[in-house]
Structure 1
């Protein structure tokens, strides 16, 4: 199977005017791609006084005034803002050497996260929060601004500055070192950012192929193996058992037992009068299918090299290449 590398999001330092990437600037790849992000758009609107709605001086203090005069006019007075909110997770206890692609499409090793304290990584993210000293040619030496930042993930780009960061450390080593942290990054751009797409790209898929996102995926937890995920997430087959019985007024008794993927029927008929007849039948339906949740096959189908330790937050398709045995 061809090697498929994951493209990870990256934080990239920009020039102060956000015009381009700063040569030699800070670059921080994310360890786990975010599950989602939120974009917020807002216009700056100010209510303008409406002269026709002003009450004469003699009516001042006599209630709400004449409501039939209309509401104050509203005027667009600013360029508006666009905000990005995204949560990033870093876990050095789950770091691997797996190769990924950065924002430039270059291969990079996950060993950059194999360190003893996660706050080394989160500190690099906080770099974008701290204002920089103005340059030598700055007109106002007291004016300091945070570094320009680009959040890049595939074709999604967001350029702006950091408005706020929240850091939550929730896992520590025995000697008190921080191992896992989540950061909520809030960025802002003083304009309305509209995606610049000329036209949508038509996507084709094989006949009968499922649409993107149609297959449910299971999310691995920290320290979970492929076998544990398969057992807990529906990777194994199912078992069913049922019993039904009915009594006929004419003296007939019937019963049925259903097992896994098959049906067994036993019938006994008693006919009073001239004599008694006993009949029994056993039938197993043809084309019975049994599903086996072989975690080794699921791991191979998902391209997982080390099924004993999954990366936290990794999504697995438990239905991929499941073995199917058909009899009949």
Structure 2
């Protein structure tokens, strides 16, 4: 027996609701990416890349819905509105609910970011009986979850760091402390009076935070 894909509602007034798709998707796309800041250094042929953050993963697919022949009053919108309704703001959450798309080993948790509905067949009464939905889910992770997933060296102990060409103290502070404003702590620990004049190849002391 073929397992049907399900959209589970995780939060809000519909929490616990499971919406079964009428037909499993023929394919789906998972998108991942990273965001970089590019810094131009005079004298270099190419800019220096600084990692800023990862981009939010997304899941996209096309869902087919068909209720032709169910009854004289059949209307496929009775099915599409169950999914479209997950874009609406929940009165308790003041935001759309979190959902999870589950199909076999695929379990994608987040929100429905966008939905396009295309109605392609109509009954004699003018009711749509066939539709195609293009759905995009966007993953949602809290700050705590993200820090648990990223192994980091603790900022509460002193470290050494080799100064590379193109490095700036604010960039190092952002990388080590996640706060570019703490560049002064690094400057003070290394006796740097002018942060714009840094010697490539120098070993910097990265002080622990009190």
Fold shared, TM-score > 0.5 on shorter chain: yes
Mapped partners of 2:69, 2:27: distance in 1: 21
Q: Which runs of 5+ in 1 are unaligned?
A: 17-21, 54-67, 96-112, 136-143, 194-328
Runs of 4+ in 1 over 6 A off after TM superposition: none
Larger Cα-atom Rg: 1
Matched with 2:57 is: 82
Offset, 1:130: 1.4
Asked if the contact 2:111/2:140 (under 8 Å) is kept, the reply is no
Q: Equivalent residue for 2:18?
A: 27
Q: Hey, what's the Cα distance between the residues in 2 that align with 1:131 and 1:74?
A: 39
Alpha-carbon offset, residue 46 of structure 1: 1.6
How do 1:60-79 and structure 2 match up within 5 A?
A: 68-79=43-54
Does structure 2 conserve the Cα–Cα contact (< 8 Å) formed by 1:46 and 1:74?
Answer: yes
- Conservation of the 8 A alpha-carbon contact between 1:164 and 1:187: yes
Question: Which one of 103, 126, 142 corresponds to residue 153 of structure 1?
Answer: 103
For residues 72-131 of structure 1, the C-alpha deviation after alignment (integer angstroms, 9 at most, x for no partner) is 211111232211111111101166xxxxxxxxxxxxxxxxx9971100110000011112
5 Å matches for 1:275-286?
none
1:123 equivalent in alignment to 2:81: yes
Counting matched residue pairs gives 142
Contact 1:31 1:90 in 2 (8 A): yes
More helix by share: 2
Displacement of 1:15:
2.9
The answer as to 2:29 corresponding to 1:38 is: yes
| Structure 2 segments unaligned to the other structure (5+ residues) | 147-210
Contact 2:63 2:132 in 1 (8 A): yes
Q: Which residue of 2 aligns with 1:233?
A: none
Compute the TM-score of the two structures, normalised by the length of structure 1: 0.40
Relative to the length of structure 2, the TM-score reads 0.60
Structure number having the greater strand percentage: 2
- Which structure has more relative contact order (CA 8 Å, sep 6+)? It is 2
> Structure 2 vs 1, CA of residues 90 and 23 (structure 1 numbering), >3 Å: closer, same or farther?
closer
Q: C-alpha displacement at 1:41, in angstroms?
A: 0.7
The question of whether the paired residues in 2 share the 8 Å contact of 1:131 and 1:146 is answered with yes
RMSD: 2.6
- What pairs up with 1:294-313 in 2 under 5 angstroms? none
SS at match of 1:122: helix
Structure 1 position 148, deviation (Å): 0.8
